[in-house]
Homo-oligomer: A and B are copies of this chain.
Amino acid sequence: RRGEMAKSTQLIDNEVFRAYATYTAIVLLKMMLMSLVTAYFRMTRKAFANPEDTASFGKGESAKKYLRTDPDVERVRRGHLNDLENIVPFVGIGLLYALSGPELSTALLHFRIFTGARILHTFAYLIPLPQPGRGLSWAVGYSVTISMAYKVLKTAWLL
Binary per-residue interface labels of chain A (2-15) against chain B in the complex, 1 for a CB within 8 Å, 0 otherwise: 00110111111111
Question: Is A142 engaged at the interface, CB distance under 8 Å to the other chain?
Answer: yes
Contacts of A136 in B (CB 8 A): none
Binary per-residue interface labels of chain A (24-38) against chain B in the complex, 1 for a CB within 8 Å, 0 otherwise: 111011011011000
Question: Is A68 engaged at the interface, CB distance under 8 Å to the other chain?
Answer: no
Chain A to chain B contacts (Cβ below 8 Å), 28 pairs? A5-B101, A7-B10, A7-B11, A7-B13, A8-B17, A8-B101, A12-B100, A18-B156, A18-B158, A21-B96, A22-B156, A22-B158, A22-B159, A25-B96, A25-B149, A25-B152, A25-B153, A28-B88, A29-B146, A31-B85, A31-B88, A31-B89, A32-B85, A32-B146, A35-B86, A50-B75, A52-B130, A53-B131
Q: Which residues of A contact B (CB under 8 A)?
A: 4-5, 7-19, 21-22, 24-26, 28-29, 31-32, 34-35, 49-50, 52-53, 55-56, 75, 78, 80-81, 84-89, 91-93, 95-96, 98-101, 128-131, 134, 138, 142, 145-146, 149, 152-153, 155-159
